[in-house]
Structure 1
Amino acid sequence: MNEPPLGRRLLDAVFGASPSRQAGYDNTADDGWHVPADDVPHVRTWMSWPASRSIWGRQLSGVQQDIALIARTVAAYEPVIMCAPDEGTAEAARAAGGRDVTVITSIPTDDLWMRDTCAVFRRDGRGNRDAVGLNFNGWGHKQTHRDDAAVAEWVAEFTELDFERADFVGEGGSIETDGDGTVMATESSLVNKNRNRGMSRTEIEEAVLHAYGAEKMIWVPGVRGRDITDNHIDVTSRFIRPGVVMVQMPPGDRGDVWARDAREQFAIMSGATDARGRRLQVIQVDGPDTVRSRSSQFVDSYLNFHVVNGAVITAQFGDRAKDHAARRALSDAFPGREVIQLDVDRLMGGGGGIHCSTMHEPVP
């Protein structure tokens, strides 16, 4: 594959200019552009190799092993492009990922969370695609991610797609779409001055609907300031298909803030309708009773799964009964796809999971 040369587009992306707003280019959702659901056929999955010891410390080697495992698993079903910060780290990524994973250095990254930094791809129903950048700012300036701020536009350059900047700040993991006119998100993540200072919820909603080519937004309150993402929706609630949502529920004896949030999301989804007027069918998946990790940031989510061509890749936590039940629920939800469960505890101990570390690129 040809890699884009280092040039003005990357520098503009880093320093805030917007070459995508070119004269004569007006690629808007009003023209029929929309973000499809995760389960459409994919061209490839995008990932990023973690290499920063200042971010991961002693956990870096283990997290790299988990990312390599995810990449090898995805590559059995569809192509994987792994972005690496430089040639030295790229060699390590190639060795760990194997020959079926393509590693490039022309799109430098700071960390592994490609769901949040990558471009969001759109289609128009006529065989055309473009890419939208959500203006990643380190989850509300909690971390400095100079290279990651440019990733969305660089991916658009690599794929030779027109690029547009959304009129709000967010991350790919903060918004779920059914591909049929409905999106959902937590208020804590988007209606937050660390991302969208001075914008009302209505203004943010309009900007999200425009970027995603959607008609209705379902909001849940979420949890503010307890994790780096301010509670992304893709850990707890996911669209399975139009009209159907899956929500992970905690054990009955849990009363922490995350458990209360999950129950609130379940209640809101159970009473919600989508853009077509359908009352949402809500599938409950029970979270694990026990996990192997002691990390306070551990994400015990079966629903942070990644859908690929022919499979669904999710986590397992060593709770045999709950792991099995989650696998069965996902098999029923995605008939015809193999469900693969991975032990990626070290990654999930860092506050994210399999969906967080991947971004799908749909076919035209």
Structure 2
Amino acid sequence: MSPLLPSRRSTLRAATALGAAVLGTSACRSGDEATPAPSGPGEDTAAKGLRMGAEWESHARTFMSWPALTSVWGEDLPSVREDIARIARAVAEYEYVVMLARPGQQAAAQKACGREVEVIPLAVDDLWARDTVPVFVEDDGKVTGVDFRFNGWGDKQEHPNDGLVAATLLSRYGIPRRKAPLVSEGGSFETDGEGTLLVTESSIVNDNRNPGKSRDRIEAELKETLGVEKVIWLKGVRGEDITDAHVDSLVRFTEPGVALLDRAHPDTPADSWSRAADQAKAVLSKATDAKGRPFEIVDLPQPDLYEITGEGDDFVSTYANFYVANDSVFLPEFGDRKADRRARSILEEHFPQRDVVPVRIDTIASGGGGIHCATHDEPGSPVD
């Protein structure tokens, strides 16, 4: 595929070499729209019963999307569909999976994913369910979906169907919808479920999403929309990948007070992403969470770029983009056996009661994403 922008790894790989459709037609029930009441930056929205849970809490189901765009993937479209089907089948061993597919592509998606995955007709453009499916919160104990009005990561790509996925999906399932007062994507947020939110400034305090809005105003809107108490800002990387550096490829919680941080391979030269990781570590080492706890920071390895089995300037080789599902964790596997084993052992140490399942995703990674980018959890009791 032809990359739209340089990726988080394209500059690093080059330096290393030098140094050495229509909406689905299913019947829908309109979701009740809940508009958040205005609140100030200091107001405790958690007291109103609004809460964003952690990914390791119980899931009702996982949503995924069947990639549709030849214009984006070109000759790699069959391969990226194989990767998506592989993830769906793996996750379906542990929890219910719903695959969103264009009506004309539903049969092919079902055949690839198998009977354990439910494929529903709903028009999508690409596979990035983390960013297009609504962000789920609890509002007085009831699951509600927040529509962050996906705009193609700041109008970098046209996604006319994906921009409607949040509203359409919530309508189909009868889940109340909250219109966010700002534009963002699910990959921008990482929470511990106890009121702490990590965000990269580059991905949201940005005129391509929220023109004219200050960081303070955006922080207040995040608190009132997600029910978080404390926002910790990381600098991120502006303009070097299509997402403007989502936090889910940089740092992830494994429990309150414990963060896994993506770190560059020691044999590769420093790039802007490495500097962003250093900045994130410096911020977290001095910060406390919403409950006043300091952070334990654990470095995740990076695979050796000469050992990975995938290719392409957009290749994202971060283990931080893992996905926590019921009784399981799904971890990308890149082909550097030493780094793959080390990353898996770290996840097993931090999720001792869950199976850690490695999944090869070379084509998804070549397109600039990972397993977390391709999945989106709905909280709740597991669907039978």
TM-score scaled by length of structure 1:
0.91
The equivalent of 1:134 in structure 2 is 148
Name the CA distance, whole Å, in 1 between partners of 2:46 and 2:162.
25
Name the CA distance, whole Å, in 2 between partners of 1:163 and 1:21.
6
Q: CA deviation at 1:122?
A: 1.2
Name the CA distance, whole Å, in 2 between partners of 1:4 and 1:273.
47
Could you list the structure 1 runs, at least 4 aligned residues long, displaced by more than 2 angstroms after superposition. Answer: 3-7, 19-22, 25-31
The equivalent of 1:313 in structure 2 is 330
The equivalent of 2:7 in structure 1 is none
The equivalent of 2:255 in structure 1 is 241
Instruction: Return the match for 1:164 from 178, 192, 209.
Output: 178
Instruction: Return the match for 1:20 from 26, 33, 36.
Output: 33
The amino acid of 1:220's aligned partner reads: L
Matches within 5 A, 1:132-281: 132-253=146-267, 254-281=269-296
Q: CA deviation at 1:30?
A: 5.4
Instruction: Return the match for 1:350 from 361, 367, 371.
Output: 367
Q: CA deviation at 1:21?
A: 5.4
The equivalent of 1:52 in structure 2 is 69
The amino acid of 1:238's aligned partner reads: R
RMSD of aligned Cα (Å): 1.9
The equivalent of 2:27 in structure 1 is 5
Instruction: Return the match for 1:114 from 129, 132, 154.
Output: 129
> 146-155 or 221-230, which moves further after superposition?
146-155
**What secondary structure sits across from 1:204 in the alignment?**
helix
Contact persistence 1:178–1:239 (CA under 8 A): yes
The amino acid of 1:315's aligned partner reads: P
Contact persistence 1:34–1:211 (CA under 8 A): no
Per-residue CA shift, 1:110-164, capped at 9, x if unaligned? 111000000111124x642211111111100011111111111122122211110
**What secondary structure sits across from 1:229 in the alignment?**
coil
**What secondary structure sits across from 2:368 in the alignment?**
coil
Contact persistence 2:199–2:232 (CA under 8 A): yes
**What secondary structure sits across from 1:194 in the alignment?**
coil
Question: Which structure 2 residue ranges, 5 or more long, are not aligned?
Answer: 1-24, 39-44
**What secondary structure sits across from 2:146 in the alignment?**
strand
> 143-152 or 63-72, which moves further after superposition?
143-152
**What secondary structure sits across from 2:145 in the alignment?**
strand
Q: CA deviation at 1:52?
A: 1.1
Q: Report whether the alignment pairs 1:95 with 2:102.
A: no
**What secondary structure sits across from 2:131 in the alignment?**
helix
Contact persistence 1:250–1:286 (CA under 8 A): yes
Question: Which structure 1 residue ranges, 5 or more long, are not aligned?
Answer: 11-18
The amino acid of 2:33's aligned partner reads: S
Per-residue CA shift, 1:190-228, capped at 9, x if unaligned? 000000001000001111121111011111111111111
Name the CA distance, whole Å, in 1 between partners of 2:134 and 2:367.
23
**What secondary structure sits across from 2:212 in the alignment?**
coil
**What secondary structure sits across from 2:373 in the alignment?**
coil
Q: Report whether the alignment pairs 1:42 with 2:56.
A: no
Contact persistence 2:80–2:363 (CA under 8 A): yes
> 252-261 or 170-179, which moves further after superposition?
252-261
Contact persistence 2:288–2:295 (CA under 8 A): yes
Contact persistence 1:134–1:171 (CA under 8 A): yes
TM-score scaled by length of structure 2:
0.87
> 66-75 or 263-272, which moves further after superposition?
263-272
Name the CA distance, whole Å, in 2 between partners of 1:109 and 1:159.
17
Name the CA distance, whole Å, in 2 between partners of 1:219 and 1:37.
18
Q: CA deviation at 1:251?
A: 1.7
Contact persistence 1:30–1:210 (CA under 8 A): no
**What secondary structure sits across from 2:193 in the alignment?**
coil
Contact persistence 1:4–1:157 (CA under 8 A): no
The amino acid of 2:190's aligned partner reads: E
Contact persistence 2:28–2:172 (CA under 8 A): no
Name the CA distance, whole Å, in 1 between partners of 2:287 and 2:75.
44
Name the CA distance, whole Å, in 1 between partners of 2:72 and 2:328.
31
Per-residue CA shift, 1:31-56, capped at 9, x if unaligned? 21111000001110000001210111
Q: CA deviation at 1:98?
A: 0.2
State percent identity of aligned pairs: 44
> 260-269 or 322-331, which moves further after superposition?
260-269
The equivalent of 1:16 in structure 2 is none
Name the CA distance, whole Å, in 2 between partners of 1:252 and 1:307.
27
